[in-house]
Amino acid sequence: MALNQENLPLYEKTWLKRNFQRAIDILILLLLFSLLSYRLFFSFFTLPWFLAFSCESWFTYTWIILLNAKWSPAVTKTYPNRLLHRVPELPRVDLFVTTADPVLEPPIITVNTVLSLLALDYPANKLACYVSDDGCSVFTFYGLLEASKFAKFWVPFCKKYNIQVRAPFRYFTEVTKSEDSPEFKQEWLQMKDMYDNLSQKIEDVTRNPISFQFEGEFAVFLNTEKRNHPSIVKVILENKDGLSDTSPHLIYVSREKRPKYEHNYKAGAMNVLTRVSGLMTNAPFMLNVDCDMVVNNPKIVQHALCILMDSKNGKDVAFVQCFQQFYDGIKDDPFGNQWVAGFEYIIRGMGGLQGPFYGGTNTFHRRKAIYGLYPDELQYGRKGKLAEKILIQQFGSSNEFVKSVTHAMEGSDYSTNGISPSNFIEEAIRISDCGYEYGTDWGKKMCWLYGSISEDVPTGLNMQKKGWRSECCTPDQTAFTGCAPGGFLTTMIQQKRWSSGLTVVFFSKHSPVMGILFGKIQFRAGLSYCWLTNWGLRSVFEVSYAALVAYCIISNTSIFPKGPGLWIPLTLYVIYTIHTLQEYLSKGLSLRYWWNNQRMITIRSTSVWFIGFLSAMVKLLGISDTVFEVTQKENPTSGAAAGDDANAGRFTFDESPNFVIGTTILLVQLTALVVKILGVQLEAHNGNGCGIGELMCSAYLVVCYWPFLKGLFARGKYGIPLSTIFKSALLAFIFVRFCRIV
Ligand SMILES: O=c1ccn([C@@H]2O[C@H](COP(=O)(O)OP(=O)(O)O[C@H]3O[C@H](CO)[C@@H](O)[C@H](O)[C@H]3O)[C@@H](O)[C@H]2O)c(=O)[nH]1
Ligand SMILES: [Mn+2]
């Protein structure tokens, strides 16, 4: 039996066959090619024609790289039961949580993330949880301190009754089953009581910030400012006796911030956590979750380790990515931020190539890969490269930390027992200082990379460039769940950030193109990364196309073929629609869900992606830097997160520039349609007047932007502010004038 077990793999990977979809993919591609050829051979050579041709060439390129990404999807199956037979001892895993703002990210959210991690179904003496607080908030610290007291009861409770959902606020929203024993019921009530008490305490201090006493443990937070304070490192919980069934270590880190220093947002925070954890526990694997995610499958560490520790296929895996799934999502995904189809088709698709991109959260990393090792150096370490002088140059001047790097690279683990994080506090504070990374390789060549506000994608790419792979891990029970950005405003901010950050990646030295040419990024994997990092660039073509159809209607000219040629774009549109609809329906998503996502794809790619692209250009030209705008998280106790709120799916607007472009596009299309209806178009040249194709495109845009149209007439947060309408009207006016002159 034991022998048998040894031959079995820890995980298996199978490639899915989606032949029907492939056939449709190809059909669409052929139609795109016919449209392009039609333009080349049968059309007039005018400026609008040329612009349409360029845009459609770009759409064809986008289709090819998208098709390439989705073409060979794979699923992995993990066998955690085999893991115990295979490895003599389970390895250590360091757990990282980042939080940045106690207002946008209420401490109770971070507390729940941390509690769900502490209660993982894994020996507690092998885990250590590190929380980075970029907000330097005494309330976050207070929350964690209180949570650590609760954890002493919560963790044993979860393990005793094999509770599946170990984030208390998720767990207690579920009802107890009637068949449970009286003993369980009593403990359940006790736990619930304690948890309510904990959240009440946290709410009380955040409600009354002025009356907070900065004494004892909290004294260090006195007179600190978010962007100006020394490093604070505190060991909140220490598993001194190395027991496997209590709570793991819990360490709070708020790295030094000074106004003159770049702090590099989340990437900077992750690098500090990497160092502090290296010093204190130095686990060979690290799990990274954002504060808005909680563990939903307590055995997830075992699942991920099946992949990372498989002796055959796991050796060159740098990281294991679990999907982001969301709880309390609003019905039918009105803002298109639940990514169900995206994960299924794109991430699984990339999973069948060199591996999914690193998504910033729900990811298990191999420390050696993060430290910049190549996969073939895994077994023997870096040989000559481990000279202390070189390491200090790369990793900074802390001897103790460099020693831990050598250990990590050579694979010599610390012994499980007898690790005492509190022995390292002084050194941990030193390596969390702003100046520590000066002149080193941190963020430049290894670890979490700086320079883009979408730090995750280049960080993953950088490892794959060295020949590493990555894998998806999707056990039957969802690994992690989180809260999706609540409303339309936050979604737009997030989309703008991604577009901006990804554009910067595409044009930087960490670009996938460079990875294909000079690194070990496989061709098709690199092309998939191009799809991802071209979101910003794509918006330029989408906005141009939208402008082009309006232009055609207003100045009475055309870009679409007339007569039989019109069937090409029409068929293209119909087949594309059926194709995407089929993809959604076959995943059990509703028609409404599909439409909401289609609409959001149009809205975001013609508005905030474009703004993100512009901000990336401004950054690349060195005019001004981009800022990471943290996503607002809903407070679970306020009840606002629940999807049953009747208005949850309504679009909200504010005065930020994010809505100006969208509103302008809507106004321009409306004007164009009105011009057509009133018949006040210009005289057509050579009989080449605007036709049905342009009108349909324009009408489609108005339908997509319908929520904006309603916003024009609504009041309060559901209405588009007058200042935005005014700016957009001005832009629209200039555009229409321009159409009538040219
Ligand atoms: O200066 C900062 C800014 C952010 N964060 C943390 O970064 C995480 C992600 O920020 P969030 O505002 O939730 O951004 P999202 O758009 O929801 O995050 C997605 O996109 C980011 C890149 O844009 C990735 O880093 C994330 O992992 C990914 O979930 C959160 O834990 C924050 O606390 C910091 O630690 N320091
Ligand atoms: Mn988030």
Output phi, psi for 710, to 5 deg.
Answer: -65, -35
* Whole-angstrom distance, CA of residue 400 vs CA of residue 385: 18
- Ligand closest to 500 (CA) is 1
Using CA positions, which residue lies closest to atom 28 of ligand 1? 360
Query: Could you report the per-residue pLDDT of 212-223, keeping only the tens digit for each?
Result: 999 999 999 999
Using CA positions, which residue lies closest to atom 10 of ligand 1? 630
**Ligand 1 atom with least separation from CA of 269:** 35
Six-digit token string for 439: 């002149």
Q: What is the DSSP letter of 344?
A: I
**Ligand 1 atom with least separation from CA of 99:** 33
56-90 residues labelled b (16+ CB within 10 A) or e (exposed):
bebbbbbbbbbbbbbbbbbebebbbebbeebeeeb
**Which of 112, 290, 361, 496 should be mutated for ligand 1, with most atoms under 8 A from CB?**
290
**Ligand 1 atom with least separation from CA of 100:** 33
**Ligand 1 atom with least separation from CA of 288:** 27
Indicate if the pLDDT at residue 643 is higher than 50.
Answer: no
Query: Could you report the per-residue pLDDT of 420-462, keeping only the tens digit for each?
Result: 899 999 999 999 999 999 999 999 999 999 999 999 999 999 9
Strand spans (E) along 39-144: 74-78, 93-99, 127-133
**Which of 96, 132, 266 should be mutated for ligand 1, with most atoms under 8 A from CB?**
266
For the purposes of burial, counting CB atoms within 10 Å of the CB of 249, is it exposed (0-12), middle (13-18) or buried (19 or more)? buried
**Sequence-separated (6 or more) residues with CB below 8 Å from residue 531:** 62, 65, 66, 68, 69, 346
DSSP secondary structure, 556-617, as one string: T--SS--GGGGHHHHHHHHHHHHHHHHHHHHTT--HHHHHHHHHHHHHHHHTHHHHHHHHHH
Task: Give the distance (Å) from ligand 1 centre to CA of residue 519.
Answer: 28
Task: Give the distance (Å) from ligand 2 centre to CA of residue 689.
Answer: 48
In the block, tokens 């950030």 appear at: 497
The catalytic site residues sit at: 134, 456
Q: How many CA atoms lie within 13 A of 222 on its CB side?
A: 10
Task: Give the distance (Å) from ligand 1 centre to CA of residue 87.
Answer: 34
What is the predicted pLDDT for the residue at 644?
Answer: 52
* Whole-angstrom distance, CA of residue 508 vs CA of residue 43: 38
Domains and CATH numbers, the chain: 19-72+510-627+652-741 (no CATH), 80-324+359-484 (3.90.550.10)
**Ligand 1 atom with least separation from CA of 630:** 12
Task: Give the distance (Å) from ligand 2 centre to CA of residue 94.
Answer: 20
Task: Give the distance (Å) from ligand 2 centre to CA of residue 178.
Answer: 36
Using CA positions, which residue lies closest to atom 18 of ligand 1? 360
* Whole-angstrom distance, CA of residue 536 vs CA of residue 687: 37
Confidence of residue 561 (pLDDT cuts 50, 70, 90): confident
386-390's contacts with Cβ under 8 Å and 24+ in sequence apart are 386/410
- Specify the higher pLDDT residue, 641 or 608: 608
What is the predicted pLDDT for the residue at 680?
Answer: 80
Task: Give the distance (Å) from ligand 2 centre to CA of residue 154.
Answer: 25
Six-digit token string for 188: 């359940």
CA-nearest of 535, 609, 552 to 740 is 552
What is the predicted pLDDT for the residue at 388?
Answer: 82
- Specify the higher pLDDT residue, 1 or 170: 170
Query: Could you report the per-residue pLDDT of 329-384, keeping only the tens digit for each?
Result: 899 999 999 999 999 999 999 999 999 999 999 999 999 999 999 999 877 666 66
How many residues in total does the chain contain? Answer: 742
- Calculate mean pLDDT across residues 664-677: 96
Query: Could you report the per-residue pLDDT of 522-558, keeping only the tens digit for each?
Result: 999 999 999 999 999 999 999 999 999 999 999 999 9
Using CA positions, which residue lies closest to atom 25 of ligand 1? 360
CA-nearest of 504, 537, 539 to 625 is 504
Using CA positions, which residue lies closest to atom 17 of ligand 1? 631
Task: Give the distance (Å) from ligand 2 centre to CA of residue 264.
Answer: 17
**Which of 630, 632, 633, 634 should be mutated for ligand 1, with most atoms under 8 A from CB?**
630
**Sequence-separated (6 or more) residues with CB below 8 Å from residue 561:** 38, 42, 43, 568, 569, 693
Q: What is the DSSP letter of 231?
A: -
Protein residues within 5 Å, CB atom, of ion ligand 2: 290, 292, 631
Q: Name the pTM for this structure.
A: 0.96
Task: Give the distance (Å) from ligand 1 centre to CA of residue 656.
Answer: 21
Q: How many CA atoms lie within 13 A of 164 on its CB side?
A: 8
* Whole-angstrom distance, CA of residue 575 vs CA of residue 31: 10
**Ligand 1 atom with least separation from CA of 290:** 31
Name all residues whose Cβ lies below 6 A of ligand 1. Answer: 98-100, 105, 132, 134, 265-266, 269, 290-292, 360-361, 453-456, 494, 497-498, 501, 628, 630-631
Indicate if the pLDDT at residue 34 is higher than 60.
Answer: yes
Query: Could you report the per-residue pLDDT of 381-422, keeping only the tens digit for each?
Result: 666 667 788 899 999 999 999 999 999 988 776 555 557 899
**Which of 321, 325, 361 should be mutated for ligand 1, with most atoms under 8 A from CB?**
361
Confidence of residue 176 (pLDDT cuts 50, 70, 90): low
Instruction: Calculate helix-pair angle for 567-586, 19-42, nearest 10 degrees.
Output: 160
CA-nearest of 74, 117, 126, 120 to 98 is 117
Using CA positions, which residue lies closest to atom 34 of ligand 1? 266
Six-digit token string for 575: 């087949």
The radius of gyration computed from the CA coordinates of the chain, to the nearest angstrom, equals 27
Q: What is the DSSP letter of 361?
A: S
Residue 664 near residue 725, CB atoms below 8 Å: no
Using CA positions, which residue lies closest to atom 32 of ligand 1? 99
Q: Which of 352-356, 464-468, 613-617, 640-644 has the lowest mean pLDDT?
A: 640-644
Give helix then strand counts, H and E, for the chain: 28, 13
What is the predicted pLDDT for the residue at 469?
Answer: 98
